[in-house]
Amino acid sequence: MRVSMNSVRENCYTAYFRPRSYKFTDVIESVKAAKTLNKFVSINYLNCPGFTDSEKETEAFLSFAVTTGIDMIQWRNLNFDPNRYFRLMKEIENPGRPIGMAAVIQKISDHCPDLIHGYFNPPKKK
């Protein structure tokens, strides 16, 4: 199962995706249900340096990865005007100090060593 997310924090996710027929909690519950069924779960993490690498988002993602047991993070570019995105996210809350994307990736790798990082889906195992 692959899930696209710009954030693992409900208020930021909702501001970007503006869900109509579902809620953020449905997304989280779907991930948990898939993992309960031993399914491979990949997150399309739509990232934007300055937001994705903020201290708050990094800590939230680490907590999400550990509690859900996701298998893969696919680093995707957020195809959105970054100035507009930053304004939108800052209206919700101050994201905190950015620590740099390399630091985020390293921190996630250190805390979740089995989490696969990539850009493409892995081949199906035989």
Instruction: Tell me, yes or no, whether 123 lies in a domain.
Output: no
pLDDT over 80 at 123, yes or no? no
Domain that residue 66 falls in: 2-118
Please write the tens of the pLDDT for every residue from 6-64. 999 999 999 999 999 999 999 999 999 999 999 999 999 999 999 999 999 999 999 99
Instruction: Tell me, yes or no, whether 126 lies in a domain.
Output: no
Instruction: Tell me, yes or no, whether 94 lies in a domain.
Output: yes
Instruction: Tell me, yes or no, whether 79 lies in a domain.
Output: yes
Alpha helices (runs of H) in the chain, residue ranges in sequence order: 10-17, 24-36, 55-68, 82-92, 101-111
Chain centre distance of CA 102: 15
Instruction: Tell me, yes or no, whether 81 lies in a domain.
Output: yes
Lowest mean pLDDT among 80-89, 96-105, 115-124: 115-124
Instruction: Tell me, yes or no, whether 58 lies in a domain.
Output: yes
Instruction: Tell me, yes or no, whether 34 lies in a domain.
Output: yes
Q: What is the mean pLDDT of residues 65-89?
A: 93
Looking at the structure of the chain, the number of domains it has is 1
**Domain of 97: which CATH number?**
3.20.20.70
Q: What is the mean pLDDT of the chain?
A: 93
